[in-house]
C-alpha cells in the first residue's frame, strides 16, 4: 500500500530528493540518540542496584564477623560460612 502525495517520484527535483534523504537521516539520528539515552539510563540503574546489593551483603558479613578473642571453632565456622 503506497501513500499518494499528489506528485510522483519522477516529478521531484533532485534537490527535493536530497532534502527528503537528509530529513530521513536526521530522523534516524534522533531516534538513535533517544534509544541510546534510554539504554544508558537502564544500564546505570541496573549497576546501581547491583552495587547496593553487594554493599548490603558486605555489611552483613562485617556485622556477623567474630570479634577479637572469639573462640577458634566459632571463628572457623564463620570463615566456612563466608567461603562456602
Q: What is the pLDDT of residues 3-53, one digit of tens each?
A: 666 667 677 788 888 898 999 999 999 999 999 999 999 999 999 999 999
pLDDT of residue 3: 62
pLDDT of residue 9: 66
Global pTM reads: 0.57
Per DSSP, the residues of the chain read: -----SS-GGGS-HHHHHHHHHHHHHHHHHHHHHHHHHHHHHHHHHHHHHHHHHHHHHHHHHHHSPPTT--HHHHHHHHHHHH-
pLDDT of residue 69: 83
Amino acid at each position: 500500500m503506497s501513500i499518494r502525495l499528489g506528485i510522483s517520484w519522477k516529478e521531484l527535483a533532485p534537490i527535493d530528493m536530497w532534502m527528503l534523504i537528509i530529513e530521513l537521516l536526521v530522523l534516524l539520528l534522533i531516534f538513535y540518540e533517544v534509544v541510546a539515552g534510554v539504554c544508558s539510563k537502564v544500564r546505570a540503574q541496573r549497576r546501581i542496584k547491583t552495587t547496593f546489593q553487594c554493599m548490603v551483603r558486605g555489611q552483613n558479613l562485617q556485622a556477623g564477623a567474630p570479634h577479637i578473642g572469639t573462640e577458634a571453632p566459632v571463628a572457623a565456622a564463620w570463615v566456612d560460612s563466608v567461603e562456602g
